[in-house]
């Protein structure tokens, strides 16, 4: 039996890895890809939201936005430290890509990832107003909670431990985004909020990836993820449908796709 076969049997039996030397080359590659997607998304998300701080309508909202940005950068740093144990060069990661760069508003990438960094596609789109920012944070915040929860039980224990703490902070970010959206609606921003929901909803849907993803099959095999893209997306749609109905906002038609 090869080392790879032994590793797969160990993981299938519920075993956890706790150091780089325990990982096979294939396991290491899938784990590093998973962590890079997370780090790049946090870096890009924080950089994009930083531009929204001065859009906030009051000092309290600006403080909250600044805190979210700082915490997302902290989350990226935590996972970068794990990547360093595998030999990744992370000392220049902050300037590795133009994290603040965004596409034109009308472009829709779907699930096709452009060349460059590994951020989720939703972080390639521009945020235009404060209402737009809290709407995006509400929708993507709930997506992040569902996606990251799957990683709290992954087979690489240092990452699972990090994600447990990160998940609690990201859940708070989602709640803060939702509270900000409620405040915007109370100020009479229903029409703008609905337009933002219509814009961001399909783009957050795409952040869950393609149906029948080969990457998920590899993640599942190595115990890095439990639930398929379809399962996570279904869970998110249930959550945000309830949120939008509570806010008297309409669920876009693509929710049924």
CB atoms within 10 A of CB 118: 16
Calpha distance 208→205 (Å, rounded)? 6
Specify the pLDDT at position 230: 95
Query: What whole-number distance in Å separates Cα of residue 137 and Cα of residue 55?
Result: 14
pLDDT of residue 257: 41
Please give the Cα distance from 115 to 36 (Å, whole number).
14
Instruction: Determine the pLDDT at residue 116.
Output: 81
Please state, in angstroms and rounded to a whole number, the distance separating the CA atoms of residues 73 and 68: 9
Please give the pLDDT value at position 3: 85
Please report how many Cα atoms fall inside a 13 Å half-sphere around the Cα of residue 45, on the Cβ side: 31
Max CA pair span of the chain? 66
HEC letters along 75-139: HHHHHHHHHHCCCCCCCCHHHCCCCCCCCCCCCCCCCCCCCCCCCCHHHHCCCCCHHHHHHHHHH
Each of the 257 residues of the chain gets a pLDDT tens digit; together they read 358 899 999 999 999 999 999 999 999 999 999 999 999 999 999 999 999 999 999 999 999 999 999 999 999 999 999 999 999 988 888 888 999 999 999 999 998 888 788 999 999 999 999 999 999 999 999 999 999 999 999 999 999 999 999 999 999 999 999 999 999 999 998 999 999 999 999 999 999 998 877 789 999 999 999 999 999 999 999 999 999 999 999 999 864 44
Q: Which of 226, 241, 223, 217 is nearest to 7 (CA)?
A: 223
Structure confidence at residue 1 (pLDDT): 39
Is residue 3 helix, strand or coil? Answer: helix
What is the distance, to the nearest Å, from the Cα of residue 184 to the centroid of all Cα atoms in its chain? 24
C-alpha 94/C-alpha 21 separation (Å) is 27
- Its pTM stands at 0.94
Q: What are phi and psi of 207, to 5 degrees?
A: -65, -15
Check residue 17 and report its DSSP letter. Answer: B
Domains and their CATH numbers in the chain = 10-99+116-256 (1.20.1260.10)
Q: What is the reported pLDDT for 255?
A: 46
Per-residue confidence (pLDDT) for residue 2, from 0 to 100 = 58
């Amino acid at each position: 039996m090869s080392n790879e076969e032994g590793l797969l049997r160990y993981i299938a039996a519920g075993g956890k890895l706790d150091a780089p030397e325990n990982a096979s080359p294939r396991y290491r590659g899938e784990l590093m890809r998973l962590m890079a997607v997370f780090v790049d998304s946090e870096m890009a998300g924080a950089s994009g939201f930083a531009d929204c701080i001065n859009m906030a309508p009051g000092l309290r909202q600006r403080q909250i936005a600044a805190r979210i940005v700082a915490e997302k950068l902290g989350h990226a740093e935590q996972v970068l430290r794990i990547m360093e144990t595998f030999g990744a060069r992370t000392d220049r990661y902050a300037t590795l890509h133009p994290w603040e760069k965004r596409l034109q508003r009308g472009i829709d990438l779907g699930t096709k990832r452009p060349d460059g960094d590994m951020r989720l596609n939703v972080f390639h789109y521009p945020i235009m107003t404060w209402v737009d920012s809290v709407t995006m944070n509400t929708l993507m915040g709930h997506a992040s909670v569902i996606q990251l929860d799957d990683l709290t039980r992954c087979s690489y224990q240092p990452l699972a431990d990090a994600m447990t703490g990160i998940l609690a902070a990201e859940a708070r970010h989602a709640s803060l985004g939702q509270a900000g959206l409620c405040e915007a609606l109370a100020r009479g921003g229903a029409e703008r909020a609905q337009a933002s929901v219509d814009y961001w909803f399909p783009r957050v849907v795409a952040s869950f990836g393609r149906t029948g993803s080969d990457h998920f099959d590899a993640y599942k095999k190595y115990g890095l993820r439990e639930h398929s893209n379809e399962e996570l997306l279904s869970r998110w749609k249930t959550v945000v449908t309830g949120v939008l109905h509570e806010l008297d906002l309409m669920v876009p038609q693509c929710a049924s796709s």
